[in-house]
């Protein structure tokens, strides 16, 4: 079964509004989670590294004020897309490093965001 | 900078055929980790394997096998006797040891595998 859960799986929002996506590690604590973005038929691009209790580290070219990341607990990281625009429509997926015996990187189910 | 190249973009095979998905990587690190993930149409990424740079042994898991060749910087994935359920996009990825084995990944562009009945 899934060890990293994302919610919502699909969301449609209006331009100018904000939308929050949650990423939870289900049976382990994750001090670090990662947020990726994937455009249709393209690869995954790292957006930011989410660190529990501290500020996220954003990749070059990612607007930190637009993509707000909060990692308030060891099992939850959130990505908020602020003032969404149609070009923000994409597939967003998070990952977390598991702990033994799940010693690898697990991904959530992903969230499809459509901005209309 | 690290880079993962999956030169094949789309592969189509008939069920029961064997198929090999290629992955070539670039990194300056001597210690690194290689991954394969499967992404079915639903979107989630399914973990298939993680291999560290010091372990060049080939691995077999059921119909899946992986061939790691440091000399050619390749980590190829073979599916034996393919099935329709194997149809998906397959990603090869790399992480560097200095950021941790289970850290941020650099992905290849993915290979879309279609298995026809």
> Closest approach of chain A CAs to the CA of B80, in angstroms?
25
Note the pLDDT tens digit of each residue in B39-50.
998 888 998 998
At residue B104, the pLDDT reads: 83
Q: Does A110 touch chain B (CB under 8 A)?
A: yes
DSSP string, B15-56: TT--EEE--EEE-S-SSEEEEEEEE-TT-PPEEEEEEETT--
Closest CA of chain B from A15, distance in Å: 24
Residues of A in contact with B108 (CB under 8 A): 43
What DSSP state is assigned to residue A27?
Answer: S
Neighbours of A10 (CB within 10 A): 11
CB contact B97 to A (< 8 Å)? no
Which of A4, A25, A39, A44 to mutate to probe the B interface, most B CBs <10 Å? Answer: A44
Q: Cβ atoms within 10 A of the Cβ of A23, count? A: 30
- Reported as a pLDDT band with limits 50, 70 and 90, residue A97 is confident
Taking only the tens place, the pLDDT of each residue in A27-68 is 888 888 999 999 888 899 999 998 888 889 999 999 999 999
Residue A3, chain B, CB below 8 Å: the answer is no
Nearest to B73 by CA among B108, B38, B100: B108
Q: pLDDT by residue (tens digit) across B58-115?
A: 889 999 999 999 999 999 999 999 999 999 999 999 987 655 556 789 999 999 999 9
């Amino acid at each position: 079964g899934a060890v990293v859960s994302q919610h919502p799986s699909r969301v449609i929002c209006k331009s100018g509004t904000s939308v929050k996506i949650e990423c939870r590690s289900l049976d382990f604590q994750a001090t670090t989670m990662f947020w990726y973005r994937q455009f249709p038929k393209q690869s995954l691009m790292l957006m930011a590294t989410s660190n529990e209790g501290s500020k996220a580290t954003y990749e070059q070219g990612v607007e930190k004020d637009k993509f707000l990341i909060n990692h308030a607990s060891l099992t939850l990281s959130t990505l908020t897309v602020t003032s969404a625009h149609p070009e923000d429509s994409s597939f967003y997926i998070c990952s977390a490093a598991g702990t033994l015996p799940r010693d690898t990187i697990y991904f959530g189910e992903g969230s499809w965001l459509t901005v209309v | 900078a690290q880079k993962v190249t999956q030169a094949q973009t789309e592969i189509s095979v008939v069920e029961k055929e064997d198929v090999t998905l290629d992955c070539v990587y670039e990194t300056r690190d001597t210690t690194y980790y290689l991954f394969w993930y499967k992404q079915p149409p639903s979107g989630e990424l399914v973990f298939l394997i993680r291999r560290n740079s010091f372990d060049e042994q080939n691995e077999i898991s059921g119909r899946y096998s992986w061939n790691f060749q440091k000399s050619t910087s390749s980590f190829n994935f073979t599916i034996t006797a393919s099935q329709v359920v194997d149809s998906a996009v397959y990603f090869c990825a790399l992480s560097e040891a200095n950021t941790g084995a289970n850290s941020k990944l650099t992905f290849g562009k993915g290979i879309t595998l279609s298995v026809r009945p």
